[in-house]
């Protein structure tokens, strides 16, 4: 069992967007979360925005709204507001291959001392102290 983990937007998007190349893996990750193999999930307001906006554009309002409700009302998912632009800027300039959304996840990883990030984004592999997971 993994008691605490961080989820990137690819997990949420892949689970709801049929054309996503990581859809099957994303669904398995969320199924493990539902079955409590993963205890508590943390993500950020950046991931929420990225996931909902992507689904709105590619899958329509209903899927986007379902994701918004899922992220804000599911037990054991905590969306952390990251608003320290200076810290994000430092991480962004240090890891030139990470998006701002990815940087927000590094911020909460450091703050919460959680090194496991479920993500299909290989850019996290360059971040010291982070273990990127794509399955359990």
Residue 57's Cα: distance from chain center in Å? 19
Supply the range of the domain harboring residue 48.
2-133
**Helix residue spans in the chain (DSSP H):** 9-16, 23-34, 45-59, 61-73, 85-94, 100-112
The total number of structural domains in the chain stands at: 1
Tell me, what CATH number does 114's domain have? Answer: 3.40.50.1010
Indicate the pTM of the whole model. Answer: 0.94
What pLDDT score was predicted for residue 52? 98
pLDDT of residue 109 exceeding 90: yes
Structure tokens at 19: 């054309």
What pLDDT score was predicted for residue 104? 98
Tell me if residue 122 falls in helix, strand or coil.
helix
State the residue for tokens 């689970």.
Answer: 15
Instruction: Give pLDDT tens digits for 77-95.
Output: 999 999 999 999 999 999 9
């Amino acid at each position: 069992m993994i008691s605490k983990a961080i989820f990137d937007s690819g997990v949420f998007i892949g689970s709801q967007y049929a054309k996503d190349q990581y859809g099957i893996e994303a669904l398995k990750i969320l199924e493990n979360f539902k079955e409590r193999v993963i205890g508590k999930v943390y993500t950020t307001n950046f991931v929420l925005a990225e996931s909902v906006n992507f689904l709105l554009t590619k899958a329509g309002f209903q899927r986007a709204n379902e994701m918004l409700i899922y992220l804000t009302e599911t037990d054991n998912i905590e969306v952390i507001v990251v608003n320290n632009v200076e810290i994000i800027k430092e991480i962004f300039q240090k890891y030139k291959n990470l998006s701002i959304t990815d940087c927000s996840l590094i911020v909460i990883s450091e703050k919460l001392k959680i090194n496991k990030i479920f993500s299909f984004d290989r850019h996290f592999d360059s971040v010291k102290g982070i273990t990127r997971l794509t399955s359990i």
